[in-house]
Chain A
């Protein structure tokens, strides 16, 4: 008999029932919530007179609207009345419906929900994890089946603790070998998306495997799984191992005592069996991955830093050519320009992709003893949570950033999607460690280039994109 993939094991261990047409009812262990995609679900519950099935599955926290400065003001910096209403609506809903963990705005542990979940030990291997947020794929880094859902599904999970779903196809993305100096999980994620395209993973759950993935830290695995959705896959997965266990041990909601031993033994079984079959397999050589930079308005429009802006004249497919032309026009870029000649106006280091302690350390290594370039108007460093912020401050990273002319902010989603006051003005160009370079994503008319934290910090110092490998060599 053929072995099972990790995805199959996770699916089968949560399967409540299955219809003849393959429609399944899947049990949900962990329900993460934020203020933007939940209010209509709670309202639906109230209108139907329904009670939550298991409110102890809920971990919630406002993050999209919350400001990253002026927390000391009377309004906490939350100036916009509709933003405030949305944040307060989450407070009221959690008060009414209950939750295992809730960090209201300005709580010392508040932050981005996808940073909070793992940090609190509420994301565990073998779980099913959902959230009304596409970047829920992040939690797959722990060997949990985790994916984004819509608000109707948020209501469905609240009321039934289940999700109506169909099995995904299984894709293995295997990255073997050693990553070069200056090449990070972000570059691996972007290189994979460049290879498979933004729809390459549609209908699939991606398991990331290979020696380069095993070598990644938990933070790196979270960055990688976070961006599975940008490759079209609702879920990304990395099998748990000793690093996963070490990361979780002692966290507030991690299993304790005898449960811990039992859990660790179970987690050890959560791996794809030898001989298990994937619907598709993509292989990359780690050593050949270079620092990446997106040039267009889709994460698949990505190139190694040494390349030039593409020339649409070289594209034979008329639809693709039109797509390149449209992207270049929006981005204000001329074909064939070396990527390292593109100047930036702002830099954003943060988001559920790259706001963890390792990301901030990588940015600080680059920034240390240097100064923001004169043409760069603003560099925002936004930690992923209160815990990340305090850790960074304990290590003195905040001082490194402020000495370089960067701004050290309070945690939140911030300029990844610009629902708070942190945004680009029309035409501004940003080196961003976030996950989406869509038109208007960081503010109407804003131009986003996705990069790793080290590449973003280097762009802030140089005033234009640089090859982080040469930049750091020049220093030593």
Chain B
């Protein structure tokens, strides 16, 4: 996994609540057996005027020009502003894969759906929870200023606006450590293989039918 430490990036706002993972990456793209190449199909139904199918050359497809990702001012955005319950619905990790492949590295929202939230960390994406009132302010600033950027620093756990307003965010030490160092979580867990084996032995004695 790629490490995440710090980003100073252009911001793109998705101003609606309950954005589900079916919208982030529609089901027809889930037929791939690869982890990469989902970026061109991110928000496919909102982004393109035709019906997307896997393998399409997206550079030739008609765009829905009103959708934020298609607006010139947001090209090259690396930080996504979102509303409540972002990433709800299906557990598909193709959603963070598409977001990361498109070029986003951080998502800021008042709340995230649980499975999507943990999937982000596995893919070097930092999901940041800030209060709804703060998001209102960031949305207003972002929509008012072309080229609006935010500075996200994981070490100090701060989001800083161009005007110098700064907002602290929470993250567990474990997740912070993994993200900052781009660590392979499986490798970390396997350092405790003896403990897992010992637990498994006790568990099998207590509930042998689970191992029958």
Answer whether residue B210 sits at the interface, using C-beta atoms and an 8 A cutoff. Answer: yes
Within 8 A of A (CB), among B177-211: 185-186, 189-190, 192-193, 195-196, 199-200, 203, 207-211
Q: Is the CB of B200 within 8 A of A27?
A: yes
- Shortest B186–chain A CB gap in Å is 5
Q: A27 is contacted by which of B27, B52, B115, B196 (Cβ under 8 Å)?
A: B196
A198-B174 CB under 8 A given contacts A36-B30, A148-B91: no
Q: A164 is contacted by which of B84, B174, B196, B210 (Cβ under 8 Å)?
A: B174
Q: Is the CB of A234 within 8 A of B54?
A: no
Answer whether residue B31 sits at the interface, using C-beta atoms and an 8 A cutoff. Answer: yes
Within 8 A of B (CB), among A101-137: 124, 126-127, 132-134
Q: B196 is contacted by which of A83, A155, A161, A199 (Cβ under 8 Å)?
A: A161
Q: Nearest CB to that of A83 among chain B residues?
A: B31
Q: Is the CB of A440 within 8 A of B209?
A: no
A229 CA to B193 CA in the complex, in Å?
A: 31
Q: Is the CB of B91 within 8 A of A37?
A: yes
Q: A155 is contacted by which of B16, B23, B173, B186 (Cβ under 8 Å)?
A: B186
Answer whether residue A391 sits at the interface, using C-beta atoms and an 8 A cutoff. Answer: no
Q: Nearest CB to that of B31 among chain A residues?
A: A82
Q: Is the CB of B199 within 8 A of A16?
A: yes
Answer whether residue B122 sits at the interface, using C-beta atoms and an 8 A cutoff. Answer: yes
Chain A residues within an 8 Å CB radius of B73 = none
A400 CA to B140 CA in the complex, in Å?
A: 58
A419-B28 CB under 8 A given contacts A126-B207, A166-B172, A232-B88: yes
Q: Across the A-B interface, how many residue pairs have beta carbons closer than 8 Å?
A: 192
Q: Is the CB of B16 within 8 A of A326?
A: yes
Pick the most buried of A53, A134, A266, A323: most chain B CB atoms within 10 A of its CB: A134
A54 CA to B113 CA in the complex, in Å?
A: 30
A256 CA to B212 CA in the complex, in Å?
A: 9
A262-B35 CB under 8 A given contacts A419-B27, A438-B89: no
Answer whether residue B114 sits at the interface, using C-beta atoms and an 8 A cutoff. Answer: yes
Answer whether residue A383 sits at the interface, using C-beta atoms and an 8 A cutoff. Answer: no
Q: Is the CB of B33 within 8 A of A39?
A: yes
A201 CA to B193 CA in the complex, in Å?
A: 33
Q: A419 is contacted by which of B18, B31, B84 (Cβ under 8 Å)?
A: B31
A245 CA to B88 CA in the complex, in Å?
A: 33
Q: Is the CB of B122 within 8 A of A150?
A: yes
Answer whether residue A365 sits at the interface, using C-beta atoms and an 8 A cutoff. Answer: no
Within 8 A of B (CB), among A62-118: 64-65, 80, 82-83, 85-86, 89
Answer whether residue B22 sits at the interface, using C-beta atoms and an 8 A cutoff. Answer: yes
A50-B186 CB under 8 A given contacts A326-B16, A438-B89: yes
Interface residue tally for chain B (C-beta within 8 Å):
59
1/0 per residue, CB under 8 A from A, across B56-94: the answer is 000000000000000000000000000111001111110
A393 CA to B111 CA in the complex, in Å?
A: 46
Q: Is the CB of B22 within 8 A of A164?
A: no
A65 CA to B91 CA in the complex, in Å?
A: 17
Q: Is the interface of A mostly helix, strand, loop or mixed?
A: loop
- Shortest A51–chain B CB gap in Å is 11
Chain B residues within an 8 Å CB radius of A54 = 200
Interface residue tally for chain A (C-beta within 8 Å):
83
Answer whether residue A288 sits at the interface, using C-beta atoms and an 8 A cutoff. Answer: no
Q: Is the CB of B89 within 8 A of A134?
A: yes
A198-B88 CB under 8 A given contacts A150-B119, A156-B186, A232-B114: yes
- Shortest B115–chain A CB gap in Å is 5
Q: Is the CB of A17 within 8 A of B195?
A: yes
Q: A438 is contacted by which of B23, B112, B196, B199 (Cβ under 8 Å)?
A: B23
Within 8 A of B (CB), among A4-57: 14, 16-17, 19-23, 25, 27, 29, 36-37, 39-40, 43, 48, 50, 53-54, 56
Within 8 A of B (CB), among A282-321: 298, 300, 319
- Shortest B175–chain A CB gap in Å is 8
- Shortest B161–chain A CB gap in Å is 22
Chain B residues within an 8 Å CB radius of A16 = 192, 195-196, 199
Q: Nearest CB to that of B32 among chain A residues?
A: A82
Q: A323 is contacted by which of B17, B35, B189, B195 (Cβ under 8 Å)?
A: B17
Q: B22 is contacted by which of A27, A198, A229, A436 (Cβ under 8 Å)?
A: A436
Q: Is the CB of A203 within 8 A of B199?
A: no
1/0 per residue, CB under 8 A from B, across A127-160: the answer is 1000011100000000000011111110110011
Chain A residues within an 8 Å CB radius of B199 = 16, 27
Q: Is the CB of A255 within 8 A of B212?
A: yes
1/0 per residue, CB under 8 A from A, across B20-54: the answer is 10110011101111110000000001000001101
Pick the most buried of B32, B174, B192, B210: most chain A CB atoms within 10 A of its CB: B210
- Shortest A322–chain B CB gap in Å is 7
1/0 per residue, CB under 8 A from B, across A249-275: the answer is 000010110011011001000000000
List 20 additional A-B contacts (Cβ < 8 Å) besides A85-B33, A124-B209: A16-B196, A17-B195, A20-B173, A23-B173, A23-B175, A37-B92, A43-B35, A89-B33, A133-B91, A134-B89, A153-B119, A153-B122, A155-B186, A156-B185, A232-B85, A232-B113, A323-B16, A417-B90, A444-B26, A444-B51
User: Top 7 nearest A-B pairs by Cβ distance?
Assistant: A255-B209, A152-B122, A150-B119, A39-B33, A148-B91, A150-B93, A199-B85
By a beta-carbon cutoff of 8 Å, the part of chain A in contact with chain B is 14, 16-17, 19-23, 25, 27, 29, 36-37, 39-40, 43, 48, 50, 53-54, 56, 64-65, 80, 82-83, 85-86, 89, 124, 126-127, 132-134, 147-153, 155-156, 159-162, 164, 166, 168, 198-199, 202-203, 229, 232-234, 253, 255-256, 259-260, 262-263, 266, 298, 300, 319, 322-323, 326, 417-419, 426, 436, 438-441, 444
